[in-house]
Amino acid sequence: MTDIVSLEVASWRPTAQPDIQRAAVDAVEGGGVLVLPELAFSLGADELRFLSPEWSDGRAKNISFEGGAVKGARGTPDDLAALARMIGRFAACAGELVAALFPRYAPYVTRARTSFRPQPAVGRPVSWRKDDARLHVDAFPSRPNHGERILRVFSNVNREQDRVWRVGENFAAMAQTFLPRVRPQLPGMPSILSMLGVTKGLRSEYDHLMLGLHDRAKADLDYQQRCEQRVVHFAPGTTWLCFSDQVMHAAMSGQHMLEQTIHVPTSALYRPDSSPLAVLERLCGRRLLPTH
């Protein structure tokens, strides 16, 4: 079962003691969720207006911020600049937090996108594959990552409403159930997908299996209901972190969340043996990345 570990951290720039760092590493690399109930991301008086779905452009699921630009939002240029400042401030805070708690990840904190999610977590009609109210590990069809980790920092900026997740069994148990149901990748398929622009770069066997686990778990409604799981409430003003490629998670309700994704190479992990790549290679009995 996924561990939920709470730590008393009340600053985005904590002077993290070794025992706090160790507990944080154990929590996230061990496949748990690290919860910081005292670490709120504060909005300025002028930013509270952004807690409304009206800022979404209606097409994208989330408002995203990458390379200084906001995507998926609508408003006047002044509004969008203010929104970008708010999301950018969160990105900086999340980066400083991660660098303080996990010094080995520090060189990688600026590498990925930030999202602001002013829409309700559930309610939009989506296909089963995109239904994040079903337990899953994150895996992205178009972005093969060759074992690179997906660390996510979330903060509930809703003033009243909890963000509610379900979390499931641990990664190895889930993988044991679903690996036998993942069909092997056809030879030649990675090159074709890459040539057609479906993937950015070649989809490794690792990426293929992670996508398969994501899909097979979401497709199995019996598993969704009966597997070992628990409900977790993230109260307003709570920040939490996890490796979303390892934690079985499902978004059940909530609105107004900020999220920072950080890609951590396996070489920066403290305990690479517990990564999904290592677990899958043990279960398969072979290497899952091409050798160069």
Q: Is 131 in the site for Fe ion (CB under 5 A)?
A: no
132, 201 Cβ separation under 8 angstroms: no
Q: Is residue 288 a contact partner of residue 281, using CB atoms and an 8 Å limit?
A: yes
Instruction: Name the residue nearer to Fe ion (CB basis): 12 or 165.
Output: 165
Question: Which residue's C-beta sits nearest to Fe ion?
Answer: 138
Nearer to Fe ion, 3 or 138 (CB): 138
- Using the contact rule CB under 5 A, the part of the chain among 78-86, 138-146, 153-161, 217-225 near Fe ion is 138-146
* Smallest separation (angstroms) from Fe ion to the CB of 77: 32
Comparing CB distances to Fe ion, the nearer of 140 and 270 is 140
| Listed residue (131, 112, 113, 114) closest to 122, CA to CA | 131
What minimum distance in Å lies between the beta carbon of 93 and Fe ion?
21
Q: Are 135 and 229 in contact, with CB atoms under 8 Å apart?
A: yes
Number of residues that bind Fe ion (CB under 5 A): 1
Nearest approach in angstroms of CB 157 to Fe ion is: 19
Q: Which residues contact 250 (CB under 8 A, 6 or more apart)?
A: 132, 133, 134, 135, 136, 165, 166, 167, 168, 224
Distances in whole angstroms, Cα of residue 127 to Cα of each of 20, 215, 225, 248, 275: 41, 11, 18, 19, 29
| Residue 171 to residues 194, 239, 266, Cα–Cα distance (Å) | 28, 23, 17
Q: Is 115 in contact with 150 (CB distance < 8 Å)?
A: no
- Minimum Å gap between C-beta 249 and Fe ion is 6
User: Footprint of Fe ion on residues 166-225 (CB under 5 A)?
Assistant: none
**Of 24-32, 133-141, 228-236, 259-267, which part binds Fe ion (CB under 5 A)?**
133-141
Task: Please state the closest distance from residue 250 (CB atom) to Fe ion, in A.
Answer: 8
- Of the candidates 79, 138, 162, 220, which one interacts with Fe ion according to CB under 5 A? 138
Beta carbon nearer to Fe ion, 3 or 132: 132
User: Can you list the alpha helix ranges (DSSP code H) found in the chain?
Assistant: 18-29, 77-101, 171-178, 189-195, 205-219, 221-226, 276-284
Q: Which residue, 157 or 242, has its beta carbon nearer to Fe ion?
A: 242
Q: Binding pattern to Fe ion, positions 83-122, x when CB under 5 A?
A: ----------------------------------------
Residue 269 CB, shortest distance to Fe ion, in Å, is 20
CB of 104 to Fe ion, least distance (A): 24
Q: Which stretch binds Fe ion (CB under 5 A): 21-29, 118-126, 132-140, 267-275?
A: 132-140
User: Could you give phi then psi for residue 119, rounded to 5 degrees?
Assistant: -85, 155
Instruction: Indicate the DSSP class of residue 272.
Output: G
What's the CA gap between 77 and 79, in Å, rounded? 5
Nearer of residues 89 and 249 to Fe ion, judged by Cβ: 249
In the three-class reduction of DSSP (H, G, I as helix; E, B as strand; rest coil), residue 124 is classed as: coil
- Distances 182 to 177, 214, 219, 225 between C-alpha atoms, Å: 10, 10, 12, 21
Task: Name the residue nearer to Fe ion (CB basis): 96 or 138.
Answer: 138
Closest distance to Fe ion from the beta carbon of 57 (Å)? 22
Rule CB under 5 A: which residues touch Fe ion? 138
